[in-house]
């Protein structure tokens, strides 16, 4: 098996965290990310960076973690029982940005490396990650831009990569109990090692680097759009879907909690304010209804 360079991956991830924080601070123009370095008693640690009450970003977190331990938690072995009993190390950058303005979408990104080891055997490793967009008031130009940047990041690695990762994202970020998508998708991948270490790492880097290229222009275009209480209340209502997904389905959340991770860092993805309304439905023909009718259903956003 191709040897893996854990140090190179870690150096890249730390630099990616730095770059994303710099660019988002510049676009916000008011607040900065505050760093909280932490150690995990069972092994490893990380640096959590959180920005709150900026001019554009209501709450944003950009986290790096590198954790290890003697045994894998159930969330990691459910689909791969042959890995039970192996030690592990996992490292990655994970982020969620919740803007003030309902016309600026929420965004999420994550890139990671996972290694499972056992004495006398070759390590099992894979990359995973992606990025996805959750608008409240859909804008087709924004969504097409988001998906075009995603496709451009994937295309050097094969024409089949973007359609595969796009479909995987659509399927993954789906709230089965609501029978609706969380947002308009993007990219999602896991268990990536078939390209060999160097090419798999290069694809992960390409996707990691593409996130801020995809998101910052959308933030810049929409951050000054006027809005009122109606739009704000709808944003808070739709944020409830974000909470439901992260606490019920998200693999990273489950892995972090089951492996004894740092709860504050794991749950930094949750929005600062949210609401649930019983049996609410949008008014027919409204801008809110348009989100459900035109943006949440799975689409080929790059079709002519």
238 labelled ligand-binding: no
Instruction: Mark whether 108 is an active-site residue.
Output: yes
**Is 262 annotated in some ligand binding site?**
yes
Does 110 count as an annotated binding residue? yes
Query: Is residue 261 part of an annotated ligand binding site?
Result: yes
CA angle 169, 174, 178 (to 5 degrees): 170
Phi-psi domain of 233 (left: phi exceeds 0; alpha: psi -120 through 50; beta: other): alpha
The whole-angstrom separation of Cα 43 and Cα 68 is 5
The active-site residue out of 100, 108, 145, 298 is 108
Flag whether 212 is marked binding: no
Contacts of 81 (CB under 8 A, 6+ apart): none
Per the annotation, does 139 bind a ligand? no
Q: Is 103 within any annotated ligand binding site?
A: no
The answer on whether 101 is annotated among ligand-binding residues is: no
Residue pair 93/21 in contact (Cβ under 8 Å)? The answer is no
Helix (H, G, I), strand (E, B) or coil at 175: strand
145 is in an annotated binding site: no
Per the listing, tokens 């790492």 go with 201
CA distance 129 to 94: 9
What amino acid positions are annotated as catalytic residues? 108
Q: Which residues are annotated as a binding site?
A: 94, 98, 108, 110-112, 147, 177, 260-262
Q: Which residues are annotated as a binding site for substrate?
A: 94, 110-112, 260-262
Q: Which residues are annotated as a binding site for a divalent metal cation?
A: 98, 108, 147, 177
């Amino acid at each position: 098996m191709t040897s893996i360079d854990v140090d190179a991956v870690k150096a890249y991830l730390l630099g990616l965290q730095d770059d994303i924080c710099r660019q988002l601070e510049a676009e916000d123009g008011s607040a900065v990310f505050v760093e909280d370095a932490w150690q995990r008693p069972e092994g490893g640690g990380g640096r959590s960076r959180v920005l709150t009450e900026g001019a554009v970003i209501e709450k944003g977190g950009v986290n790096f973690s590198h954790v290890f331990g003697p045994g894998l938690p159930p969330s990691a072995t459910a689909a791969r029982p042959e890995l039970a009993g192996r030690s592990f190390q996992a490292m990655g950058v994970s982020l969620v940005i919740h803007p003030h303005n309902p016309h600026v979408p929420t965004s999420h990104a994550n890139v990671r490396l996972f290694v499972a080891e056992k004495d006398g055997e070759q390590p099992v490793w894979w990359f995973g990650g992606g990025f996805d967009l959750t608008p409240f008031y859909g804008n087709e130009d924004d969504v097409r831009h988001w998906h075009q940047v995603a496709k451009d990041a994937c295309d050097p690695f094969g024409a089949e990569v973007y359609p595969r990762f796009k479909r995987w994202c659509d399927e993954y970020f789906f709230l089965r109990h609501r029978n609706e998508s969380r947002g308009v998708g993007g990219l999602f991948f896991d268990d990536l090692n078939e390209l060999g270490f160097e090419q798999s790492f290069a694809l992960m880097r390409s996707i990691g680097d593409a996130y801020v290229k995809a998101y910052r222009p959308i933030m810049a275009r929409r951050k000054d759009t006027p809005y009122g209480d109606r739009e704000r209340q709808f944003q808070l209502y739709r944020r409830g879907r974000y909470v439901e997904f992260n606490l019920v389905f998200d693999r990273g959340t489950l892995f972090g909690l089951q492996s004894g991770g740092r709860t504050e860092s794991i749950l930094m993805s949750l929005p600062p304010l949210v609401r649930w309304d019983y049996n609410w439905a949008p008014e027919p023909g409204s801008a809110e209804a348009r989100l459900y009718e035109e943006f949440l259903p799975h689409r080929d956003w790059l079709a002519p």
